[in-house]
Chains A and B, each alone.
Chain A
Amino acid sequence: MSKEIRLKRGFTIQIEGEADKSLMSSTFKIDSYAVKPTDFYGMCPKLLVEEGTVVKAGTPLFFDKADERIKITSPVSGVVSAIVRGEKRVIEQIKITPDEQIEYIKFGEPVGAGYDLSSQTAEQIKSKLLESGLWAYIRTRPYHMIADPDAQPKMIVISTFDTAPMGPDYDFIAHDQKLHFQAGLDVLAKLTEGKVHLNIHEELTRDDVFLYAKNVEINTFSGKHPVGNVGIQIHHLDPINKGEVVWFVNPQDVIIIGRLFLDGVLNATKIVALAGSELKRTGYHKIVAGACIKSLVESNLIDDATPRYISGNVLTGKQILQDGYLGFYDHLISVIPEGNYYEFMGWAMPGFFKFSFWRSFFSWLMPGKKYVLDTNYHGGHRALIFTGQYEKVLPMDILPMQLIKACIIEDIEAMEELGIYEVDAEDFALCEYIDPSKTEIQNIIRKGMDLVKQEMS
């Protein structure tokens, strides 16, 4: 049964710089790509290539020591130009200099619209995904990691809308890719005995690609951020109990999976949103996964910009450098100003132009106004004092303060009882945003999850 779920709690951050809904012309040339093993939580990478190795799109770069079937493959063809290691020789980046024309490894014959999956077993589909490296797009809750191929998920969830600040519009992204998206959904449907849930937003989702998708259960959600997070959605569809597993896939990654089965190749071309108040022009770019962002942003900065580049959204994304690379799971590049300035008596000012969840600044006089938001903490770290606030931005039957405290004191039993399996760090991002005590809540939750996982394995 399709469900209709309305959530009242949540919060929209009125940030300036949302991506303009137009595809920007691709006159630029991207001269470097990279895969970052650090994008994969809990993975222990073992390299299969070295500097100078010639690769094609689909050549394995490294695999997970814990499960050798899980490989990460190159998104483009070219030459491995560098392997960047960080502290303790952790592999941070595998850089690839691309060929003029991408050469693809063939994982099957191109069949186009006449594809037929009925003759293929789940095992065959799984091995094809694993072999091509696209398995990595299927992630699991709890723990937010690459799915275990042997696990039996009780459902697979796809959230087709992103409510995060400046989040990409999947309606726009998927519009012309109906065939591939549907093929991806059909592939996923083969992988679970449960259902594939396609979650749409009552107001945001308008495109037929999602509204008329087949072979899935379509659920309608309404509300503000974080309703777009799969964690919130799973909690309201069928919460995760201890020992249960749910898989989730990003809609654009579903399309890439669809291409593998229709075209027989790993074509990791993505439409990525470029957003933020530090840019002259925002919009969407068609690029290949792992692209270096330099040529996209370099000549596009406003005057006197002090940019921070983020792969992902401003709440959960990772900071990258100007010559950094788009993250494996990201479909958005946010560029916002750094906030390394002092503000004289800032806490005492009326604050007509200070955006806040609280109405302690007079900016509440202007609802709907958008603000340029920077990376300043706007205050020092203090004790956790205020209660009943996190609940307002976490639409789940979870006691956030108690769970956070259980994670801080590393009480695994309490964490389990309070629902650690149902949450992910990203679900707490808004709590972290509104927190006057400036506590690093996402870190605390992530550490709690890691601890539970360690204990369970």
Chain B
Amino acid sequence: MLRKIIDNIKPNFQKGGKFSFLHSSFDAFETLLFVPNKVTTTGAHIRDSIDSKRAMAIVVIALVPALLFGMFNVGYQHFLSQGETVDFFTTFLYGLWKVLPIIIVTYATGLGIEFAVAQMRGHEVNEGFLVTGMLIPLLLPPDIPLWMVAVATAFAVILGKEVFGGTGMNVWNPALIARAFLFFAYPSQMSGDKVWISGKADAYSGATPLAEISSGNLDIVSAQEMFIGLIPGSIGETSKIAILLGAIILLWTGIASFRIMFSVVLGGLTMGWILNFIGGESIWTQVPAYEHLLMGGFLFGAVFMATDPVTASQTGTGKWVYGFLIGVIAVVIRVYNPAYPEGMMLSILLMNTFAPLIDHYVINANKKRRLKRAKIVAEQTI
């Protein structure tokens, strides 16, 4: 039925048709509804059931626990700060009402640009933005003005991705580019203790655990509270339970790299321990290593951002190094640069930059092994 309608209007969008300039967009919608009937002509005759859409959909599904919890928490923090007690449903609805517009604006802006660029290049529309568009809202505070969301998303998609050649070619994680853009362009909306609770009552302290420590208050929030996540923070980052659920989905399906996730955590712990051991004047050095994992966006970054295959190291060994350094640098930034309590974002962007360099050394090692072998053989034959 639906298939018939599509088949009827399809000629209009193909070469020579009235709307042939909209070819990419039509194709995107058609393939969204129907997996194409294209059969193999060269190479392997059978192909795996997975495609780019499925893989991206899995990442989005993995983000859903964090998203739902984030929505609830936005409502929860709001009513808590107001001193009101309301039922679960009202709480969630408030969060939904706050978060949904951010998601819609992100997707509308980002997909609009993606479609336009695909059209210009004559490509099919890549699905990468489905994930980016879900990540960006989860990295933001709930009361962010929507126009800022639109500007940041556009900045991220155009300058963070399309200028490099589109999906698969970008150097930095686009979602983090969006967040970094907002962080530096509109710091008052992205940091401090005012922004993390939606519609906060003035008298109520709305500082995140990171901010509390920066202002010298250790142990205000317990590890257990940070783990559960009913604390102020970016929409998606607060509940470690929800993030770990996502991590399980990503690892089980094989979509994300275990090496990266594990080594980021290991790097954070190692650096945390070292700093505990060295000590120092900063109160930050007294933060137990494991609490670094529970604070701020560390875990969210480790699970969803560092593992982005496009911007991470591509080689197996490279992934260990890349992840470990992200963990180390995130903690170092937190401890030694109190102006930027959220070190995870900068740490991942920094390592995105160095990922090709790490790969370069891993690849060279592989080449050298081969060269050495060839030389030994050559010597023997002489």
Which residues of A come within 8 Å of B, CB atoms?
A: 13, 15, 165, 239, 241-242, 244, 308, 310, 314-317, 319, 334, 336, 338-348, 351, 354-361, 373-389, 391, 397-399, 401-402, 417-419, 429, 432-438, 440-443
Interface size on B, residues (CB 8 A): 61
Instruction: Give A437 to B56 CA distance when docked, in angstroms.
Output: 12
Asked whether B38 is an interface residue with its Cβ less than 8 Å from the other chain, the reply is: yes
Question: Which B residues from 39 to 55 make CB contacts under 8 A with A?
Answer: 39-55
Q: Are B33 and A345 in contact (CB under 8 A)?
A: yes
Q: In the assembled complex, which residues on chain A have CB atoms less than 8 Å from the CB atom of B255?
A: 358, 360, 386
When A342-B37, A348-B57, A433-B44 are in contact, do A241 and B377 touch as well, CB less than 8 Å?
A: yes
State the CA gap A3–B167 with chains docked (Å): 45
Report, nearest first, the 9 A-B pairs whose CB atoms are least far apart.
A379-B51, A383-B168, A346-B35, A241-B374, A354-B49, A347-B53, A343-B35, A342-B34, A382-B52
How far is it, in angstroms, between the C-alpha of A429 and the C-alpha of B44 when the chains are bound? Answer: 6
B46–A379 CB distance below 8 A: no
Q: Which residues of B contact A432 (CB under 8 A)?
A: 43-44, 47
Q: Which of A13, A15, A385, A438 has the most CB of B within 10 A?
A: A385
Decide if B16 is an interface residue (CB 8 Å cutoff). no
User: A382-B168, A385-B52 given. 9 additional CB < 8 A pairs?
Assistant: A316-B44, A375-B45, A378-B48, A380-B31, A385-B55, A385-B309, A402-B314, A402-B363, A432-B47
CA distance A165 to B48 in the complex (A): 13
21 residue pairs from A and B, CB less than 8 Å apart? A241-B378, A244-B377, A308-B45, A315-B44, A358-B48, A358-B253, A361-B50, A361-B54, A375-B46, A376-B37, A378-B47, A378-B49, A380-B36, A380-B38, A382-B167, A385-B167, A385-B310, A386-B255, A388-B257, A399-B363, A435-B48
Distance of A229 from chain B, by nearest CB (Å):
14
- B27's nearest neighbour on chain A, judged by CB, is A380
Query: Do the beta carbons of B39 and A380 come within 8 Å of each other?
Result: no
> Is B88 engaged at the interface, CB distance under 8 Å to the other chain?
no
**Given A385-B309, A385-B310: A359 touches B44 (CB 8 Å cut-off):** no
B127 on the interface (CB 8 Å rule)?
yes
CB distance A375 to B39 under 8 Å?
yes
In the bound complex, CA of A15 to CA of B254 (Å): 21
List, in ascending order, chain B residues with CB within 8 A of A351's CB.
Answer: 49
Asked if residues A383 and B47 are in contact (CB atoms below 8 Å), the reply is no
What residues of A have a CB within 8 angstroms of the CB of B45 in the complex? 308, 310, 314-315, 317, 319, 334, 336, 375
> Given that A376-B37, A387-B314, A417-B370 are contacting pairs, would A336 and B46 also be in contact in the complex, using a CB cutoff of 8 Å?
yes
B229 in contact (CB, < 8 A) = no
Kindly state whether residue B199 has any CB partner on chain A within 8 Å: no
> Would you give the shortest CB distance from B312 to chain A, in whole angstroms?
7
- A440 touching B48, Cβ below 8 Å: no
Cβ of B65 under 8 Å from chain A: no
Instruction: Say which residue of A165, A358, A386 sits within 8 Å of B309 (CB atoms).
Output: A386
Pick the contact of B46 from A242, A374, A417 — CB < 8 Å?
A: A374
Indicate if B162 sits at the interface (CB-CB under 8 A): no
Kindly provide the distance from the CB of A433 to the nearest chain B CB, expressed in whole angstroms.
5
A375-B367 contact, Cβ under 8 Å, with A241-B373, A359-B253, A380-B52:
no
Q: A239-B373, A342-B34, A376-B38 are in contact. Are A385 and B316 (CB under 8 A)?
A: no
Asked if B51 and A378 sit within 8 Å, CB to CB, the answer is yes
In the bound complex, do residue A344 and residue B44 qualify as a contact, i.e. CB atoms below 8 Å apart? no
Which of A316, A334, A359, A380 gathers most chain B CB within 10 Å?
A380
| Bound Cα distance from A344 to B310, whole angstroms | 29
Contact A341 B37 (CB under 8 A): yes
Task: Kindly report which residue of chain A lies nearest to residue B257, judged by CB atoms.
Answer: A388
Complex alpha-carbon distance, A440 and B51, angstroms = 14
- A165 CA / B278 CA spacing, docked (Å): 58
Given A310-B45, A342-B35, A438-B47, is A360 in contact with B369 using a C-beta cutoff of 8 Å?
A: no
User: How many angstroms between the C-alpha atoms of A239 and B166 in the bound complex?
Assistant: 38
B315/A436 in contact, CB under 8 A: no
Whether a CB of chain A sits under 8 angstroms from the CB of B15 is no
B85 within 8 A of A: no
Chain B's closest residue to A363 (CB) is B49
B128 within 8 A of partner (CB): yes
A379 and B55 CA atoms in complex are apart in Å by 11
Q: Using Cβ atoms and an 8 Å threshold, which residues of chain A touch B166? A: 383
Smallest CB gap from A377: residue in B = B38
Most buried by A among B31, B46, B47, B257: B46
- Measured between beta carbons, the chain A residues less than 8 angstroms from B51 are 347, 377-380, 382, 436, 438
Which residues of B296-312 have CB atoms within 8 Å of chain A's CB atoms? 309-310, 312
Residue in A closest to B370 when the chains form the complex, CB atoms:
A419
Nearest-neighbor residue (CB-CB) of A317 within chain B: B45
- Bound-state Cα–Cα, A336 to B44, Å: 12
Given contacts A377-B40, A388-B257, A399-B315, is CB(A383)–CB(B126) below 8 Å? yes
Give the complex CA separation of A418 and B147 in angstroms. 48
Residues of B within 8 A of A336 (CB): 45-46
* Cβ–Cβ contact A436 & B37, under 8 A: no
- Once the chains bind, are B46 and A436 in contact (CB under 8 Å)? no
- Asked if A377 contacts B44 (CB within 8 A), the reply is no
Whether the Cβ atoms of B44 and A379 lie closer than 8 Å is no
B169 contacts chain A at the CB level, 8 A cutoff: yes
With a CB–CB cut-off of 8 A, which chain A residues contact B48?
355-358, 378, 433-436
The smallest C-beta distance from A367 to any residue of chain B, in angstroms, reads 14
Is B2 at the interface (CB under 8 A from chain A)? yes
The answer to whether B43 and A429 touch across the interface, beta carbons within 8 angstroms, is yes
B224 contacts the other chain (CB 8 A) = no
Identify the closest chain B residue to A344 (Cβ): B34
Interface residues of B in 335-382 (CB under 8 A from A): 362-363, 366-367, 369-371, 373-374, 377-378
Residues of A within 8 A of B40 (CB): 375-377
Nearest CB of chain B from residue A379's CB, rounded to whole Å: 2
A441–B43 CB distance below 8 A: yes
| Structural contact, A433 and B254, CB atoms closer than 8 A | no
Q: Is B240 an interface residue (CB 8 A)?
A: no
Within 8 A of A (CB), among B153-176: 166-169
B252 touches A (CB below 8 Å): yes
A359 to B315, CA, bound (A): 22
CB of B47 within 8 A of CB of A376, answer yes
